[in-house]
């Protein structure tokens, strides 16, 4: 049986602000522990990552996605979920410990970058990030625009 490719990824929400405000040092994939109505709401592509962050427990026991808004499922009953509840991230113990050490020693933070479905599973891409200063943000924008201009010029020549 062939391994699944990234083309099987179906993006639900992307945190575009995170790549603007932070320099992403490392990316990681984590599973999400969700209730049934949360999954149904995600399948309708309803989620917001703006203002969301990842909190690592003190003892390195677990990682939580905090501030991610998944609205209530429209056809849900009294058992619907709370839209802003914190959700457990499914990571290996060594991955959690690595993130905890990086956050406490290097002055970095962990931010969610994207929520997507990979096959039947809901996943979140998290990034170990360092905050950018205003001048770093301007420099990143300038280099991105220069790269676009070069690509446009190359396309015109063809």
Q: What would the pLDDT profile of 86-116 be if each residue is shown by its tens digit?
A: 889 999 999 999 998 888 877 788 999 999 9
Model's pTM, two decimal places?
0.76
pLDDT tops 90 at residue 28:
yes
The CATH code for residues 10-132 is: 2.40.280.10
In angstroms, the Cα distances linking 57 to 3, 25, 74, 142 are 33, 21, 33, 38
Q: What would the pLDDT profile of 9-18 be if each residue is shown by its tens digit?
A: 888 889 888 8
Residues 6+ apart with CB under 8 A from 142: none
The predicted pLDDT at position 29 comes to 94
């Amino acid at each position: 049986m062939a391994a699944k490719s990234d083309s099987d990824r179906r993006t639900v929400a992307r945190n575009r602000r995170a790549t603007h405000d932070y320099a992403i040092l490392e990316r990681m994939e984590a599973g999400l522990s969700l209730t049934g109505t949360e999954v149904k709401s995600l399948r309708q592509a309803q989620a917001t990552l703006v203002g969301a962050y990842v909190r690592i427990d003190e003892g390195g026991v677990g990682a939580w996605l905090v501030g991610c808004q998944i609205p209530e499922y429209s056809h849900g009953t009294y058992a619907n979920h709370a839209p802003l509840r914190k959700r457990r991230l499914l990571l290996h113990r060594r991955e959690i410990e690595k993130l905890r050490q990086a956050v406490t020693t290097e002055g970095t933070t962990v931010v969610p970058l994207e929520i997507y479905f990979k096959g039947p599973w809901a996943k979140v891409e998290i990034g170990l990030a360092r905050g950018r200063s205003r001048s770093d943000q301007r420099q990143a924008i300038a280099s991105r625009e220069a790269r676009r201009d070069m690509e446009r010029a190359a396309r015109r020549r063809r």
